[in-house]
Chain A
Amino acid sequence: MAGQEQINPSSRNEEQAEEADAAIPTSPAAQSSAATQGVDDLLDEIDGVLEKNAEEFVKGFVQKGGQ
């Protein structure tokens, strides 16, 4: 979980962050499941446009020097 701490862009520690995140939605259950569904749909959509063979594609992206 060390990685999780790294990526929390707030001044709070993990526990406080979880509390705060839970406190934001006004009707928590409905909103968070709608939000999760939204994110899932988005990730599905992005899966459909990602270049094939990620490893090879990223490896092939080699640039010459620039400014």
Chain B
Amino acid sequence: MTAGAFPDGGGHGGVRRVMGSETEYGIHAPLTPTANATVLSARVIEAYARLNSSRLAGEAGARRATAGWDYSDEEPLHDARGWTMPRNRAHYSQLTDVEPVLDATAVALAHGRAELDYSDVESAEQPLMNMVLGNGARFYVDHAHPEYSSPEVTGPRDAVIWDAAGDLVALESVRALQEADGTGPVNLYKNNTDNKAVSYGSHENYLMPREVPFSSIAEGLIPFFVSRQVLCGSGRLGLGQDGRGVGYQISQRADFFEAEVGLETTIRRPIINTRDEPHATADKYRRLHVIIGDANLSQYANYLKFGTASLVLGLIEAGRVPKLQVFEPVAALQDVSHDTSLQHRVRLIDGRRLTAVELQWLYFEAAKSFAEETGAGHPSQGDGETHALLTAWEETLGWLESGDERAAQRVEWLAKLRLLEGYRDRGGLAWNDAKLGLIDLQWSDIRPEKGLYHRLAQHGRMEKLVDDAEIAAAVTAPPEGTRAFFRGMCLSRFPREVTGASWDSVIFRLPRQSRSTRIPTREPLRGTRELTGALFDAHQDAEDFLRALQQQ
């Protein structure tokens, strides 16, 4: 294999490593604005499950054949700094290791309004809260939002593809729901705030070798996270958590961060999240859980978000990350976000003052020279991805710095800003005009006919990284280079026998056996097409397949 081809991290100097995305969608039923968000979200998941089952069975209204989630390896209270938070001190939203049941308590905890509608909750069949998909993803209700967690992929280009596939899953769900239900549309938004003090996340996950000390990860990443929003922020109209401050800012998320390092994800949000839930062999790997990113519709913004983070983690692993320490990082994060002129200078502990773009250049230069040394970044003999990522990073930073309008075809906050400016110029609208607020919101509507990002993309105003056909294929096909291949194939091949799955397990229940068989998948780089493809080809029957698997 060529240099840098090992995607598990560990100083190879390239972008390739095991990674994945999580998107919580904003949810809104305009005709029933008081509908409970948890109930609505469950309806979305349920609609997709019905669609999925009828496809599998080849007929509408078939029996629901859906694998549940296996919770046995969830450890949301393990802290990467070396301790575990006691359950009784955790916020209820942190207890993600138990099966949520949609009962009156769950609905009430999701802060339902006065007109709570329990009719769905008390219906005979418990609504579905969790699905594992044939592409290896998880699609489920996370508190009060539908969430799509992508399957594990091995590089930023695939991260973009399987993240965008999630938007198609979400789109199919709301279309199916509207057809079946008739109570009016349920809209999903790929954004991160309602502009009324509430934020919800889009997280990134990166696999790292366990031996890298957590303190060096936090130190190396903070200045990177403070500055990367100039490339991958999605733009937000309004300042402050409640959005009442007048103006436009770079990031959806920046104003919601209140701490530098911490375990929480829903309260006192930290720039560096310490949740240590590897979903893999724990003495070998950590899963870095990044909660600070904006949800991206722009493919290039998403590509740069995953690719540059992976390169910077490689620098940290190799002890080559630029030595930068930001003075008061939380305030700096927000100052950078609030200055769309990109002129704000971030104060460093050593007295230097650098703009976010200048900070990004330092990371770029370090990553480029490291990738050149290891060979991962070589245009023809490299790992096949790092050279392209470095090129895109360099071009985009250069365009931002020189004011080249090509930046607006990649950088999402700038594309949205140009659209808002177009309306301001034409209609003389103030920054707090309701129409501009609607444009900011509708930018992220996942429907191609309504979403304004999608409208711009249809006009060729957003540069595309991947073909629509590749994204469409990823709705059903798992990535081939990780255990997601095994998971996804098990689910689509044996929908009746697979009764549960998680990141690190697949559970079979064979018709003639009283006990389930749990197949652990704790190595993210096993279960690939290379390792298991032939088994799936050779065995059409679940029992034969399991027998052959266990003989391996």
Contacts and interface: CB of A to CB of B under 8 A. Distances in A.
A65 B422 contact: no
Interface in A25-67: 39-40, 42-43, 45-46, 49-51, 54-55, 57-58, 60-67
Given A9-B407, A67-B201, A55 B291 contact: no
B233 to A, nearest CB: 12
B264 to A, nearest CB: 9
Contacts of A22: none
Contact of B194 (A7, A9, A45, A62): A62
Contact of B422 (A6, A12, A39, A67): A39
A66 B145 contact: yes
Query: Which of A5, A45, A54, A66 counts the most B-chain CB atoms under 10 A from its CB?
Result: A66
Contacts of A49: 442, 449-450, 452, 455
Given A65-B266, A67-B265, A58 B199 contact: no
A9 B414 CA distance: 8
Nearest to B246: A3
A10 B145 CA distance: 37
B403 A8 contact: yes
B104 to A, nearest CB: 16
B28 A8 contact: no
Interface in B414-466: 414, 417, 419, 421-423, 426, 431, 434-435, 437-439, 441-442, 449-450, 452, 455-456, 459, 461
A62 B196 contact: yes
Contacts of A6: 247-248, 339-341
Query: Which of A9, A49, A57 counts the most B-chain CB atoms under 10 A from its CB?
Result: A9
Contacts of A42: 422, 455-456, 459, 461
B340 A9 contact: yes
Chain B interface size band reads 35 or more
Query: Which of B265, B266, B438 counts the most A-chain CB atoms under 10 A from its CB?
Result: B438
B100 interface: no
Interface residues of A, number: 33
Contact of B198 (A45, A51, A64): A64
B159 interface: no
Given A3-B431, A42-B459, A46-B455, A66 B201 contact: yes
Contacts of B38: 64
B341 A8 contact: yes
B403 A63 contact: no
A61 B186 CA distance: 12
B200 A60 contact: no
Interface in A1-29: 3, 5-12, 17, 20, 24
B431 A11 contact: no
A20 B194 contact: no
A10 B402 contact: yes
A43 B439 CA distance: 11
Given A6-B340, A10-B403, A66 B30 contact: no
A50 B353 CA distance: 42
A62 to B, nearest CB: 6
A50 to B, nearest CB: 6
Given A54-B434, A60-B33, A9 B144 contact: no
Interface of A: 3, 5-12, 17, 20, 24, 39-40, 42-43, 45-46, 49-51, 54-55, 57-58, 60-67
Ranked nearest first, the 4 interchain pairs of A and B with the lowest CB-CB distance are A66-B200, A10-B403, A64-B144, A55-B434
9 contacts: A10-B401, A42-B422, A50-B438, A60-B30, A63-B37, A63-B196, A65-B111, A66-B144, A67-B142
